[in-house]
């Protein structure tokens, strides 16, 4: 009979294999022992999951299979940030996004906040605002 850890490992391996078969990369080349050791050494086994602040096993280099040397345990938010970094949004996609936003009604409160945000002065030192903004 398989342990709970083995069942979770097999489910993870199946999901990775299913999602990456389309790309022609051997997706998963990690033994159960290596997989379990990574999770246990990370100390995040109990915090794994799908939410942003929960942890997942992610590839370091997505052009290579998931191996002990090409994996790390990070939060889902960190993984999403890494995957989105440097993505290019085409002009066509930007136009579709603009069209989607056109005609969306904005409340008076929303318009006031947009106006205040447009008048903010940013510091080069990383501060959000030069000084608190008040309505004039």
Q: What is the pLDDT of residues 79-127, one digit of tens each?
A: 888 777 767 777 888 888 888 888 778 888 988 888 888 776 444 344 4
What is the pLDDT, as a whole number, of residue 134? Answer: 53
Q: How many angstroms separate the CA atoms of 58 and 20, rounded?
A: 13
Query: By the 8 A CB rule, do 17 and 28 touch?
Result: yes
Nearest to 58 by CA among 30, 88, 89, 86: 30
Distance, in Å, from the CA atom of 101 to the CA atom of 95, rounded to the nearest integer, reads 10
Task: Write the CA distances from 105 to 78, 100, 101, 116, integer angstroms.
Answer: 33, 12, 9, 18
Report the SS3 class of residue 87.
coil
Give residue limits of the domains in the chain: 4-84
Given a cut of 50, is residue 128 above it in pLDDT? Answer: no
pLDDT of residue 25: 57
pLDDT in tens, 11-38: 766 666 665 666 555 667 788 888 888 8
0.85 exceeded by pTM: no
């Amino acid at each position: 009979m398989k342990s709970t850890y083995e069942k979770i490992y097999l489910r993870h391996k199946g999901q990775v294999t299913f999602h990456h078969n389309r790309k022609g990369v051997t997706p998963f080349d990690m033994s159960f022992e290596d997989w379990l050791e990574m999770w246990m050494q990370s100390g995040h086994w109990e915090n794994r999951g799908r939410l942003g602040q929960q942890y997942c096993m992610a590839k370091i280099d997505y052009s290579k299979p998931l191996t002990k040397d090409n994996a790390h345990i990070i939060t889902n938010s960190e993984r999403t940030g890494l995957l989105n970094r440097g993505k290019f949004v085409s002009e066509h996609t930007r136009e579709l996004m603009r069209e989607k936003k056109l005609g969306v009604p904005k409340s008076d409160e929303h318009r006031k906040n947009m106006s205040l945000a447009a008048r903010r002065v940013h510091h080069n030192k990383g501060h959000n605002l030069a000084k608190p903004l008040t309505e004039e």
